[in-house]
Amino acid sequence: MSKRSKKSVLKESAPKFSSEDEERDFWADHDVVDYFDWEKSVRGSFPALKPSTKTISVRLPQALLEELKTLANERDVPYQSLLKIFLAERVARERRQRSERKAG
């Protein structure tokens, strides 16, 4: 990229589009960096965004499932949510232990 200032290489602004098709066609032939001023950029935050989930089937011993449901009921949460929490905590612990072994 040349040493010219960003202001001199930026186009004025992207046009207003009357449809998604029109916008898609425009961006297929134009580069967004020609219309974007990094100095005015703001980091996006999406606190309500939920990660994608995938349905799986897991076979659990009946006694383990009943214990999970009991624990979930005590916490007033769905048992599948509690299972996800337990799995996430264990995965995080395993990752920490792995990185500590590598560092040590």
Query: How high does pLDDT run on average in the chain?
Result: 87
pLDDT (0 to 100) of residue 4:
39
Q: Which residue has the higher pLDDT, 1 or 73?
A: 73
pLDDT (0 to 100) of residue 34:
85
pLDDT digits (tens, 9 = 90+) for 25-75: 999 998 888 888 888 888 888 888 888 889 999 999 999 999 999 999 999
Q: Which residue has the higher pLDDT, 63 or 11?
A: 63
- DSSP tally for the chain: helices H, then strands E: 4, 0
What CA–CA distance (Å, rounded) separates 53 from 79?
A: 16
Q: What pTM did the predictor assign? A: 0.51
What CA–CA distance (Å, rounded) separates 30 from 14?
A: 10
pLDDT (0 to 100) of residue 41:
84
How far is residue 95 CA from its own chain's centroid?
Answer: 19
Average of per-residue pLDDT across 84-104: 92
What CA–CA distance (Å, rounded) separates 36 from 13?
A: 8
